[in-house]
A and B are shown apart, each in its own frame.
Chain A
Amino acid sequence: MTKLVEWLGLAGLFAGVWAYLFISTPAGSSSDFARHFVLFLPFYVLLAFAVISVSIIAWRVYTFNDCKEAAKELKQEIADAKTDLRKKGFKFD
């Protein structure tokens, strides 16, 4: 089963549950709020997912390891390499 098929399956499942919920909330002014809530449920779920996703990405950007020492080390090693290679007869141009 490909990921696409997996997601379509899950989407179908949610659609079924949502349709059932929608049908089973009775029409009438006393349960207007419930109906509205169920109607907009997918939207709320997507909104929550978007907010959580952005937060996760922002956190990961903030805590992205910055390898300053690695860059410094590399600079030094490039100099060492050039010195050693020259000694061994390498011609840099």
Chain B
Amino acid sequence: MHSISFLFAYVNKFESLEEFNKASVISVSNKFLSANKMGTNDKYSVLLPTYNEKDNLPIIVWLLIKSFTESGYDFEIIVIDDGSPDGTLDVAKQLQNIYGDKKIVLRPREKKLGLGTAYIHGMKHATGNFVVIMDADLSHHPKFIQQFIEKQKEKDYDLVSGTRYSGNGGVFGWDLKRKIISRGANYVTQVLLRPGASDLTGSFRLYKKKVLEKLVQSCKSKGYVFQMEMIIRARQFGFTIGEVGISFVDRVYGESKLGGNEIYQFAKGLLYLFATT
């Protein structure tokens, strides 16, 4: 037996019998592990609210399908289009024809109605027990979802937040001014609210479906502040939060500068949370 293994290892150019044995063990256990992944009952519903994303939607869907196929987790993509005038919904229908209506679910709405209600609307017919929320403009990369999932399983976290500010997190496409505003605002938020999470305005997260349902009902704010309030309420309810560093690729920053109005809304929201939580 030993001599046959040795011959096999030699023929296959392994440096030593140990290396060959190690490699065999790894390949066998990988097969066992992926069989387990397929065997779990977890399903991940990805909520994609869209408004005028006809160019980015095919790419983000392709990347999602690629990354979920590679990781082996069960998923569906729910596109919530708010009556985009650029034909985003038609693009979504094309993708549905290609990938099937089990993988691409369409839940369109008549007009722009806000993020919180988009999540509620999207979750109504979601068949997953986990929900991933993310932006459809390619600033969030689907490859991180596998890391979110694995992080969630580590301690059965109620939600996992993608952070740009700690760990391996980072940003591409921001000038110095934008970075200063971002870090400054985050610092003020940390001092005033002590939220226990490094990135409050981020919108790339994994939630247990029941947790997201409860949080969305209890949050009243809009825009940036909505995402902040979700984390704060999560802490209030005693939900556990895990973090994964993500890379945020901003291709839109040049066109949509961070205006005075947005800063004002943020400050207002921050004070509201400071005074009420």
**A complexed with B:** yes
Whether A70 contacts B172 in the complex (CB less than 8 A), given A60-B183, A81-B63, comes out as yes
Whether A67 contacts B247 in the complex (CB less than 8 A), given A85-B62, A89-B98, A90-B95, comes out as yes
Minimum distance in angstroms from B94 CB to a CB of chain A:
6
* CB closest residue in chain A, given B185: A57
Residues of B within 8 A of A3 (CB): 192-194, 273-275, 277
Per the bound structure, the CA–CA distance linking A12 and B247 in Å amounts to 43
Q: Verify A90–B94 contact, CB threshold 8 A.
A: yes
Stretch at the interface among B4-12, B153-161, B173-181: B173-181
Q: Verify B184–A74 contact, CB threshold 8 A.
A: no
Does chain A have a CB within 8 A of B187? yes
Our pick among A53, A68, A85 for the contact of B98 (Cβ within 8 Å) is A85
* CB closest residue in chain B, given A5: B275
Does chain B have a CB within 8 A of A24? no
B: number of interface residues (CB 8 Å): 36
Does chain A have a CB within 8 A of B138? yes
Per the bound structure, the CA–CA distance linking A89 and B58 in Å amounts to 12
Q: Verify B98–A88 contact, CB threshold 8 A.
A: yes
Residues of B within 8 A of A85 (CB): 58, 62, 98
Q: Verify A65–B171 contact, CB threshold 8 A.
A: yes
Our pick among A56, A57, A66 for the contact of B170 (Cβ within 8 Å) is A66
Per the bound structure, the CA–CA distance linking A46 and B71 in Å amounts to 51
Additional 17 contacts, C-beta under 8 A, given A85-B62, A90-B95: A2-B277, A3-B192, A3-B194, A53-B191, A56-B187, A60-B187, A65-B168, A70-B141, A70-B247, A71-B173, A77-B63, A78-B138, A89-B98, A90-B58, A90-B94, A90-B98, A91-B94
- 24 A–B contact pairs at CB < 8 A? A2-B276, A3-B192, A3-B193, A3-B273, A3-B274, A3-B275, A3-B277, A4-B274, A4-B275, A53-B191, A57-B180, A57-B183, A61-B179, A65-B171, A67-B172, A67-B248, A70-B141, A71-B249, A74-B141, A77-B63, A78-B59, A85-B98, A89-B98, A92-B58
